[in-house]
Amino acid sequence: MQVLFLILAAVALISGVLVVIQVNPVRSALYLILNFFTVAGIYLLAHAEFIAAIQVIVYAGAIMVLFLFVIMLLNLRQPEEGGEKQHLAQKISGAALAGVTALLVIYTCTRINLGPAKEMVPGFGSTEAVARSLFTDYLLPFEVTSVLLLVALIGAVILARARLD
């Protein structure tokens, strides 16, 4: 189990870095898909089968397909190596942002209590357990999220219509 986790985690980190440093957006997208798979594998190791399946269906199977679709529709030519020169301000702000994020991550890591894990509740991570917590304890956030998605949908339709008229 531990070996599997280490392999998955390593692949996830490497593919994550590759997503950022690739010049070609299609390759970036493909590495991101690989990343989603390794994360789904980690969920499986944590006995969260439902979340793992949903991770693959939603992220790898739907969202990334649309990403690839858009990349291929808009960017049919291969980008030339190097690309545009970056501004100094871009570099400084990027580095600053990365530094702040790194500090936050380190701060959070020091606060984690790495003791032995708690005893697992029977049925943890099953579809029933996820459904029960979604529709009881987290009903309000769940419904608000659906409204948010609806708003995004309507916004997209309005933008498309404005272009047409």
Partner 1 sequence: MNLPVLVGLMVVKITLVLVVFLTTIAYVVLMERKVLGFIQLRYGPNRVGPWGLLQPLADMIKLLFKEEFTPPHANKTLFVLAPMIVAITAFMPFAAIPFADRILPDSLTIYGYQVDLTVAALNRGVIADVNIGLLYIFAISSLAVYGAVIGGWASNNKYSLLGGLRLCAQMVSYEVALGLSVIGVLMVAGSLSLVTIVEAQKSMWFIVYQPLGFLLYLCAAFAECARTPFDLIECENELVAGYQTEYSSMKWGLLMLGEYGHMIIASALAVTLFLGGWQGPFLPPIVWFLIKTFALIFLFIWVRGTYPRFRFDQLMYFGWKVLIPLALFNILLTGVVMMYL
Residues that bind partner 1 (CB under 8 A): 26, 30, 33, 49-50, 53-54, 56-57, 60-62, 65-66, 68-69, 72-73, 76, 126-127
Least separation in angstroms between residue 65's CB and partner 1 is 5
Nearer to partner 1, 14 or 53 (CB): 53
Nearer to partner 1, 9 or 44 (CB): 44
**In Å, how far are 4, 37, 48 from 43, measured between CA atoms?**
12, 10, 5
Residue found under tokens 């291969």: 78
Rounded Cα distance between 133 and 128, Å, is 9
Nearer to partner 1, 9 or 26 (CB): 26
Least separation in angstroms between residue 64's CB and partner 1 is 8
Q: Is 66 exposed, middle or buried (0-12, 13-18, 19+ CB in 10 A)?
A: exposed
Least separation in angstroms between residue 153's CB and partner 1 is 12
Nearer to partner 1, 93 or 127 (CB): 127
> Position 104: which residue type?
L
Rounded Cα distance between 48 and 56, Å, is 13
